[in-house]
Structure 1
Amino acid sequence: MKQISGERLVGERALFMSRALTIDNCIFADGESPLKESKELEIKQTSFQWKYPLWYCQDVKVTDSTFFEMARAGIWYTDNISLTDILYEAPKGFRRCKGISLNKVHFLNADETLWNCSDIQMNNVTAKGNYFAMNSRNIKIDGFNLAGNYSFDGCENIEVKNAKMISKDAFWNCNNVVVRDSYICGEYIGWNSENVTLENCTIESNQGFCYMKNVVLKNCRLLNTDLAFEYVSDVDAEITTKVISIKNPISGRITAAGVEEIIFDDPNIDAKATEISLTD
């Protein structure tokens, strides 16, 4: 492979359509789309300081590198890319990409990052920003910290474990979600989603788990949670804590340590279709 080392690269499309290239200890300064349409790249200890650095690329490996705030909309329409040991300051980081591997990546501004992407693996990732991973699919996550609302809206086929999320409206409009050994704090979790399973999780939510179908909670703690399960059908919930209130579930089974208030005030709902039992 050809190698470029220790250079400061400027100007639009500085390395346009590169092939089989190793880039080491370089700076991509002002100049849009420096690596557009490139393939087979190995990038190490390099900083991206301007817009659109990796568009329409294939087979890219980036390690121990930095994406500055102005490297916005940085990785779009790119397939088979891995990032390891990365500080990523720019928003709108990934769009319409396939085959993404993120390991030890810190997104300082993750607004609108990972939109319409597929086949994503994330390990030990931290992110701060709203609308993370919108309309993406086939996502596996292990070790994830997020501070940002409206995360994973419209996603499908998601597996998450060992996560901490402060995120209002997380997992809306989703299909096929499994979350294990995680903490989520945010209002209105999961609305309009189907086939959602949470195992050994701690959830704090106002009006959580509403307008959903086929919801399973196993050994979960619902803290400071009220008006839960409104218009949810086929619920199977095992809750080890007390719940403030449950309102108008359509069908299923809910077991909790206690419920301060059970509300059935919709005449179209048969309260007998949902079995609610208390363990304390």
Structure 2
Amino acid sequence: MQITNKYFTGERILYGLKDAKLEGVTFGKGESPLKEARNLEIKDSFFTWKYPLWYDQHIKVDNTTFETMARSGIWYTDDIKISSSALQAPKLFRRCSQIDLEHVHFANAEETMWSCKQIRITDSTINGDYFGKDSQDIFLDHVSVIGNYVFDGAKNIEVHNSTFISKDAFWNCENVKIYDSVIDGEYLAWNTKNITLINCQITSSQGLNYIDNLTIKHSKILNSELLFEYCSRIDIEVDNALVSVKNPISGRIVAPEIGTLILDQTKVDPDKTQVICNNILKRMDSSDLNQTPKVKEYEI
């Protein structure tokens, strides 16, 4: 079936549509226009109202706009590919799987991509808080993210050539690998297990704390204080001076210089962390606690 240059309004107007190509179609006011659809190709079209693609399967979308009121737009849908499209609405993906996004722009990705699986995003931009919460099996390449709390509680993440401007990114995650990327934001990756950063540039106030199995290689950590607090099984090799390191539990740190190294024997066993460094400007232990820099309280 071919549907071309049509304007539709009304609730569930094309409910259950199957094996169809839609081109130049605009869906005006009316909820769930393509609910329970199968095997669709959508091109050069506009979704202007709520819940456009729910409980769908095998959907291809190209050069299409999801306007601001197309909120909560793609839920419970499996096998969807979207390319060269503008995604303006919040809460756009929930409980979906097999998602392939290429050259898309999320203008407001607030609470988007929650509890989804098998996600691939390339050459795209994402703007909005709480993107990717509790999702898994995620691949990103050449993606720009501006928005806080990205990928909270997510699992099995691989990232290449990307940029994150994000407070509290990668919290409560498992199995994260990030290559050739830039990360800028406070409190990076707390309470995460198995995270690797290769050839990255990182700026994070009190970031990289409470992590089990942290690997950083061929990277720079800039303007970041009180690093690696209560981190275990760390393997850190950085190319620049570190501002301060506080109470790592175990592992190895290699850096040309550390401004302040804090190892409080009442909290951790210093012998379990190997520190290889040409110059440590200041060392502090339990006897120096009254000199410990005041830690800024975490703001929720």
SS of the equivalent of 2:63 reads strand
Match of 2:85 in 1: 86
How far did 1:258 drift?
1.0
Match of 1:213 in 2: 212
Match of 1:184 in 2: 183
The answer on whether the counterparts of 1:228 and 1:245 sit within 8 Å (CA) in structure 2 is yes
- Structure 2: unaligned runs, 5 residues or longer: 280-300
How far did 1:279 drift?
4.6
How far did 1:268 drift?
3.1
- In structure 2, the CA distance between the partners of 1:20 and 1:190, relative to structure 1 (3 Å rule), is same
* Residues 38-83 of structure 1: per-residue CA shift (max 9 Å, x gap): 0000000000000000000000000011000000000000000000
Match of 1:255 in 2: 254
Identity %, equivalent residues: 47
The answer on whether the counterparts of 2:113 and 2:132 sit within 8 Å (CA) in structure 1 is yes
SS of the equivalent of 2:224 reads strand
Structure 1 Cα separation of the partners of residues 278 and 91 of structure 2: 46
* Residues 210-265 of structure 1: per-residue CA shift (max 9 Å, x gap): 11100000111000010000000000000111111000000000011211001123
1:73 aligns to 2:72 (yes or no) = yes
SS of the equivalent of 2:267 reads coil
Figure out how many residues of one structure are paired with residues of the other and give that number. Answer: 279
How far did 1:100 drift?
0.3
Structure 1 Cα separation of the partners of residues 242 and 147 of structure 2: 25
Structure 2 Cα separation of the partners of residues 49 and 207 of structure 1: 42
Query: When you count strand as a share of all residues, which structure comes out higher?
Result: 1
Structure 1 Cα separation of the partners of residues 118 and 204 of structure 2: 29
Match of 1:60 in 2: 59
Structure 2 Cα separation of the partners of residues 268 and 106 of structure 1: 46
RMSD: 0.8
Deviates more, 1:262-271 or 1:123-132: 262-271
Match of 1:156 in 2: 155
- Structure 1: unaligned runs, 5 residues or longer: none
TM-score (norm. length: structure 2)? 0.92
SS of the equivalent of 1:226 reads coil
TM-score (norm. length: structure 1)? 0.98
Match of 1:168 in 2: 167
- Amino acid corresponding to residue 98 of structure 1 in structure 2: S
SS of the equivalent of 1:272 reads helix
Structure 2 Cα separation of the partners of residues 155 and 46 of structure 1: 32
Deviates more, 1:16-25 or 1:259-268: 259-268
- In structure 2, the CA distance between the partners of 1:279 and 1:93, relative to structure 1 (3 Å rule), is farther
Match of 1:228 in 2: 227
The answer on whether the counterparts of 1:255 and 1:279 sit within 8 Å (CA) in structure 2 is no
Structure 1 Cα separation of the partners of residues 82 and 16 of structure 2: 20
